[in-house]
C-alpha cells in the first residue's frame, strides 16, 4: 500500500477534521433549535432546508462535475501561463452569475407564490427571499471551491467551511437566541455565513477570472454536466421527499422530531463526505496502476469496517445523545437515528461502487439506477408513512440507499469488474445490523444504565472484529499506508 493510499488518507483526514469541527458546531446548534424552536417551527425550517437542497442542484446544472472534469484538461492547455484554467474559471463563473442571478431574482419577485406552494400560505415569503440570497451566494462560491479541491488544497477548503460553520453558529446565537427571530433568524444565519465565504473567496476571483469567457467551452461543459443532473436530484428525492410526506400525512411536529434525528445521524454523513472528498481527486490516478482493481477492492472492505463501526456506535448511543441535546418533546427522535445513519453509510458504499463506471467514463446507467431507487423510495413512502410515520421514512431511506449500492455495483461490474470481498463485507453489515437491533430490544429502562449498555455492546462488536480477523494491528498498519506493500515499493525503487 503506497502513495495513493496515503494521499487518500491524508486528504480524508484533513476533510474529516474539518467536518468534525463543523459537526461540533452543528451539534451545538441542535439544542439551540430544540430549545428555542417548537417542533412545528423546527419542521418548517427542515422544509425550507429541504427545498434549499433541491434548488441547489437546479442552480448547479451539473457545472460542479464539469469544472472538476475539465480542470485537468485546461491545466494541460495552460502550461506555465495559466490561461487555460483562467478561461475555465471565467466561463463557469460568468454563466453562473447570469443563470443563478436570474433564478434568484425570479424567486425574490415571486416569493409569496413560492411560500404558498411550499407551505400553503404566503406568510413565509421572506424565507423565500432569504433562500434566494443563500442559493446565489453558494453557486457563485462553487467554482473557486471546486478548483480548490482539484488542486488538493484541502486545508484551505476546510478552513473556509469551518469559517462558514462558525459564522452560522454566532449568527444563530445572536438572531435565534438573542433576538428571538425563530426560523427567520436561522435562515438569515445561513445567508450570512454563505455571504462570508463568498467574500473570503474574493482573492480567488481576482487572481483567476482574468480571461474572457469561452462560449465553445461553456457548450462542452454543459453537454458533459447536464446528464449528471438526474443523479443528485434522485438522491435528493431519497433524502428529502420523506420529510414532505411526513408533514402531508402525519404532522409538522413529527417532521420536526424526525429532522432532529437526521441532525444526530449526520455524524455518519460527515465521515462519508470526508472520505469521498479525499477519494474523488485520486481515484482516476489509481486507475492507471496495474493493481488498481486490488486497491479499489481494499478500499471497499476498509470502508465497510469503518462504516459499520461508526453506524453501530451512533445507533447504540442515540438515546443518550438525543437526551443530552434536546428536551423530552424530541425523545422519539432516537428511534430513527440508527436507521438514518445506516442510510448514510450505504450511500457511501454507493459512491465506491460507481468507481467502475466513473473511471471508464461509461456513466449512463447511473441516471437509471438513481431514478429507479428514487421512484421506489417514493412508492414505499406513500405506502408506509401514513401508517408508520417517521419509522417508515427512516426504513425506506435504508432500502433506497442499499438499492443504489447494489445497482451501481452491478452496472460497474459490466464495464470494469472488481473482485470485491462481498462475503466479508456482507457478514460485517449483517452482524452490525443484528447487534444494533439487539441493542434496541435490550435497551435498559434506566437512563443511568443506557451508556453502560451501549458501551458493552460496542465493546462486543470490537471483540467480534478481532475474533474474525477484521481488526488487527496489521490491518491498522495497512490502513495507515504501511505494511509489506510499502516495503516492496521502496525496494523496487
| pLDDT tens sequence across 39-50 | 778 778 878 887
Give residue-wise pLDDT tens across range 320-330: 888 887 888 88
DSSP one-letter code for 124: G
The 3 state secondary structure assigned to 267-284 is: HHHHHHHHHHHHHCCCHH
Size (the chain), residues: 493
Q: Are residues 305 and 50 in contact, defined by beta-carbon separation less than 8 angstroms?
A: no
Burial of 290 (0-12, 13-18, 19+ CB in 10 A): exposed
> Is residue 205 over pLDDT 60?
yes
Predicted TM-score (pTM) of this structure: 0.70
State the cell numbers at 90.
Answer: 471565467
Distance CA 469, CA 463 (A): 10
pLDDT tens-digit map of 386-436 = 999 999 999 999 999 999 999 999 999 999 999 999 999 999 999 999 999
* DSSP-derived secondary structure for 66-120: HHHHHHHHHHHHHTTTTHHHHHHHHHHHHHHHHHHHHHHHHHHHTHHHHHHHHHS
Could you tell me which of 74, 149, 138 has the C-alpha nearest to residue 104? 138
Q: What pLDDT is stored for residue 407 in this prediction? A: 93
The pLDDT, as a whole number, for residue 23 is 62
Residue 232 has pLDDT above 80, yes or no: no
Q: What is the pLDDT of residue 452?
A: 86
Q: What value does the mean pLDDT take over residues 260-265?
A: 87
Q: How confident is the model at residue 337 (pLDDT cuts 50, 70, 90)?
A: very high
The listed range with the strongest mean pLDDT (22-26, 53-57, 176-180, 483-487) is 176-180
Kindly provide the b/e burial profile for residues 20-37, where b requires at least 16 CB atoms within 10 angstroms of the residue's own CB. Answer: bbbbebbbebbebbbebb
The owner of cell 412545528 is 40
Pair 439, 384: CB distance under 8 Å: no
pLDDT for 472: 54
Lowest mean pLDDT among 20-24, 257-261, 375-379: 20-24
- Residues above pLDDT 90, as percent of the chain: 29
pLDDT of residue 484: 41
Indicate the pLDDT class of residue 448, thresholds 50, 70 and 90. low
Per the model's pLDDT, the better-predicted residue between 37 and 80 turns out to be 37
User: Average per-residue pLDDT in the chain?
Assistant: 82
pLDDT (0 to 100) of residue 433: 93
- pLDDT value at residue 487: 37
More confident residue, 448 or 418: 418
**pLDDT at residue 308 tops 90:** yes
Quote the pLDDT of residue 22: 63
pLDDT at 225 over 80: no
Residue 129: all three cell numbers together: 427571499
Residue 490 has pLDDT above 60, yes or no: no
Q: What is the pLDDT of residue 26?
A: 67
Mean pLDDT, range 107-111, rounded to an integer: 92
Q: Which of 322, 301, 303 is closest to 311 using CA atoms? A: 303
pLDDT in tens, 346-368: 999 998 998 888 778 677 788 88
pLDDT at residue number 474? 54
Amino acid at each position: 500500500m503506497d502513495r495513493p493510499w496515503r494521499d487518500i488518507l491524508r486528504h480524508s483526514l484533513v476533510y474529516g477534521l474539518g467536518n468534525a469541527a463543523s459537526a461540533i458546531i452543528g451539534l451545538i446548534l441542535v439544542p439551540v433549535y430544540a430549545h428555542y424552536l417548537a417542533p412545528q417551527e423546527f419542521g418548517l425550517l427542515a422544509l425550507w432546508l429541504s427545498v434549499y437542497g433541491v434548488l441547489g442542484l437546479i442552480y448547479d446544472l451539473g457545472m460542479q462535475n464539469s469544472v472538476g472534469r475539465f480542470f485537468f484538461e485546461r491545466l494541460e492547455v495552460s502550461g506555465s501561463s495559466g490561461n487555460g484554467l483562467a478561461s475555465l474559471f471565467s466561463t463557469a463563473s460568468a454563466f453562473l452569475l447570469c443563470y443563478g442571478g436570474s433564478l434568484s431574482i425570479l424567486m425574490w419577485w415571486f416569493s409569496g407564490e413560492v411560500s404558498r406552494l411550499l407551505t400553503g400560505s404566503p406568510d413565509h415569503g421572506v424565507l423565500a427571499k432569504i433562500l434566494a440570497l443563500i442559493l446565489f451566494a453558494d453557486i457563485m462560491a462553487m467554482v473557486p471551491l471546486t478548483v480548490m479541491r482539484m488542486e488538493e488544497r484541502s486545508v484551505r477548503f476546510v478552513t473556509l467551511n469551518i469559517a462558514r460553520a462558525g459564522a452560522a453558529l454566532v449568527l444563530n446565537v445572536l438572531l435565534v437566541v438573542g433576538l428571538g427571530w425563530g426560523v427567520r433568524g436561522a435562515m438569515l444565519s445561513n445567508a450570512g455565513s454563505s455571504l462570508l465565504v463568498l467574500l473570503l473567496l474574493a482573492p480567488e476571483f481576482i487572481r483567476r477570472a482574468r480571461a474572457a469567457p469561452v462560449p465553445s467551452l461553456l457548450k462542452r461543459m454543459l453537454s458533459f454536466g447536464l446528464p449528471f443532473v438526474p443523479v443528485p436530484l434522485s438522491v435528493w428525492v431519497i433524502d428529502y421527499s420523506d420529510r414532505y410526506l411526513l408533514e402531508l400525512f402525519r404532522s409538522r411536529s413529527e417532521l420536526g422530531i424526525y429532522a432532529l434525528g437526521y441532525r444526530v445521524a449526520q455524524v455518519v454523513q460527515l465521515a462519508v463526505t470526508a472520505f469521498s472528498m479525499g477519494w474523488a481527486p485520486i481515484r482516476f490516478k489509481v486507475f492507471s496502476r496495474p493493481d488498481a482493481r486490488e486497491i479499489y477492492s481494499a478500499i471497499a472492505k476498509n470502508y465497510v469496517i469503518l462504516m459499520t463501526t461508526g453506524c453501530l456506535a451512533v445507533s447504540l448511543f442515540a438515546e443518550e445523545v438525543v437526551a443530552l441535546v434536546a428536551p423530552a418533546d424530541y425523545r422519539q427522535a432516537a428511534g430513527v437515528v440508527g436507521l438514518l445513519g445506516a442510510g448514510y453509510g450505504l450511500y457511501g458504499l454507493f459512491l465506491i461502487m460507481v468507481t467502475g463506471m466513473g473511471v471508464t467514463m461509461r456513466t449512463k446507467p447511473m441516471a437509471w439506477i438513481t431514478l429507479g431507487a428514487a421512484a421506489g423510495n417514493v412508492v414505499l413512502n406513500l405506502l408506509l408513512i401514513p401508517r408508520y410515520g417517521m419509522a417508515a421514512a427512516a426504513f425506506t431511506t435504508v432500502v433506497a440507499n442499499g438499492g443504489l449500492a447494489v445497482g451501481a455495483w452491478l452496472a460497474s461490474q459490466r464495464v470494469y469488474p472488481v473482485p470485491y470481498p462481498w462475503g466479508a463485507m456482507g457478514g460485517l453489515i449483517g452482524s452490525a445490523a443484528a447487534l444494533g437491533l439487539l441493542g434496541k430490544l435490550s435497551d435498559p429502562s434506566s437512563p443511568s444504565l443506557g451508556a453502560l449498555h451501549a458501551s458493552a455492546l460496542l465493546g462486543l462488536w470490537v471483540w467480534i472484529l478481532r475474533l474474525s480477523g477484521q481488526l488487527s494491528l496489521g490491518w491498522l498498519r495497512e490502513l495507515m499506508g504501511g505494511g509489506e506493500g510499502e516495503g516492496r515499493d521502496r525496494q523496487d525503487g
